[in-house]
Amino acid sequence: MIFNSNELYGTLPPAIANCSSLIHFGADNNQLQGLIPASIDELPNLRVLSLFGNALSGSFPASLLFNPDNSVRMIMLGFNALMGLVKPPNSTTFSRSIEVLDLHGNHINGTFPVWLTNLCTLTSLDLSGNSFVGTLPTEIGNLSSLEELNVANNSITGEVPNAIRQCSSLIVLDLEGNKFAGLIANILGELLSLKILSLARNLFNGGIPLSFPAKTAISKLRSLGILDLSKQSFSGELPVELFGFPNLKVVALEENDFSGDVPEGFSSLSTLQHLNLSSNSFFGNIPVECGFLSSLVVLSLSNNKIINSIPPTLGNSSNLQALELVRNLLTGSIPVTLSKLSHLKNLDLSHTNLPVKSRKTFQIVLPSILCY
């Protein structure tokens, strides 16, 4: 029974429990309000409950997770107005079938619900965009089948627990927009299946440890495609191990205090599409090797201490759409080779030492994209 993207309004009737043969109930992107009826846990054959994008309120009907004999595999209730999770009695037995639990974008508050870590069959847990506080519990390691953990945009504090190493099947780990602190745990290098790692907008500090990823694991950690460590207090030079991920597409390290020469090692990453090193303390030249990145779409090196001229080889980055070099100490002229960048939409050279004459000359060639 699927009613997605209609204009349904009103409440869900308790009589839905009479639909005893119901397997899949979906009513995403409607205008449903009120409580999710508790009787919904009486549907013996229900496998998928998807009510994403409504205005449902009250508490999540956690009784769906308390019956070890039910068949529910997927519960997707993101972008509603749910307010809470009811803690089960201590003697509760839990579902042995649930695989996906998505409650993102609600108004659920309180500490991280430790009892969720009893759902050992979970492969995806998304609690992002709520108001959880406190720490991420050590019991998170009980979810050994977990492939996606997303707790972004809450107010979770403390360090990432060592027990997360037990979630060895993780493909996505998104902790962005919380108040996690301390050093990057070396154990993150043990999550060898990771494709997406986002730790942005937290309170982490120190450098990226040389064991990130662990030297013994670097040849195995070949799936990482997105690395976001932006907007916090990391410092020091980037370890060369960082350039050993052959499938990296996105590297976001902006708004930290990384230092050293602008790394040329990124030129070995043939799949790289987005490189943002802005608002750090990098110095030296823009590496000539950046021109070898034919897949690069965004290159942002703004707000650093970069000197000398823009290398003409950047004109070889044929897919480049944004080149941002704001607030550096650049000199010389703008290479005419940049005019070959047919996909370029944003070229920002403002607040640099590039001669005004050079910038005006180039603006004649590409008048709609140059900011100076």
Residue 26: CB atoms within 10 A of its CB come to 16
Residue 363 has a pLDDT of: 54
Residue 241 has a pLDDT of: 78
DSSP 311-354: PGGGGG-TT--EEE--SSEE-S---GGGGG-TT--EEE-TTS--
Residue 364 has a pLDDT of: 44
DSSP 136-181: PPGGGGG-TT-SEEE--SS--EEPPPGGGGG-TT-SEEE--SSEEE
CA 169 to chain centroid, in Å, comes to: 17
Structural contact between residues 22 and 46, judged by C-beta atoms closer than 8 angstroms:
yes
Structural contact between residues 209 and 184, judged by C-beta atoms closer than 8 angstroms:
yes
Residue 47 has a pLDDT of: 95
Q: What angle do CA 236, 314, 359 make, to 5 degrees?
A: 100
The confidence band for 359, taking pLDDT boundaries of 50, 70 and 90, is low
Q: Between these two residues, 370 and 217, which has the higher pLDDT value?
A: 370
pLDDT beyond 90 at 361: no
Mean pLDDT of the 173-192 span:
86
Measure the CA–CA gap between 93 and 115, rounded to whole angstroms: 11
Measure the CA–CA gap between 209 and 364, rounded to whole angstroms: 47
The overall pTM is greater than 0.85: yes
Measure the CA–CA gap between 272 and 15, rounded to whole angstroms: 53
pLDDT beyond 60 at 247: yes
pLDDT beyond 60 at 351: yes
Residue 368 has a pLDDT of: 55
Residue 199: CB atoms within 10 A of its CB come to 24
Position 366, amino acid: L
Residue 369 has a pLDDT of: 60
pLDDT beyond 60 at 213: no
Fold of the CATH domain 9-371: 3.80.10
Residue 356: CB atoms within 10 A of its CB come to 8
pLDDT beyond 70 at 372: no
Residues 52-72 pLDDT 10s: 999 999 998 888 888 777 889
Structural contact between residues 214 and 194, judged by C-beta atoms closer than 8 angstroms:
no
Measure the CA–CA gap between 114 and 161, rounded to whole angstroms: 13
Structural contact between residues 45 and 72, judged by C-beta atoms closer than 8 angstroms:
no
Residue 153 has a pLDDT of: 98
Burial bucket for residue 277 (CB in 10 Å: 0-12, 13-18, 19+) = buried
CA neighbor of 367 nearest in space, from 340, 339, 343: 339
pLDDT beyond 60 at 219: no
pLDDT beyond 50 at 99: yes
CA neighbor of 167 nearest in space, from 151, 181, 188: 188
The confidence band for 360, taking pLDDT boundaries of 50, 70 and 90, is low
Helix residue spans in the chain (DSSP H): 356-365
Structural contact between residues 61 and 38, judged by C-beta atoms closer than 8 angstroms:
yes
Q: Between these two residues, 133 and 65, which has the higher pLDDT value?
A: 133
51 DSSP assignment: -
Residues 255-307 pLDDT 10s: 999 999 999 999 889 999 999 999 999 999 999 999 999 999 999 999 999 99
Residues 314-337 pLDDT 10s: 999 999 999 999 999 999 889 999
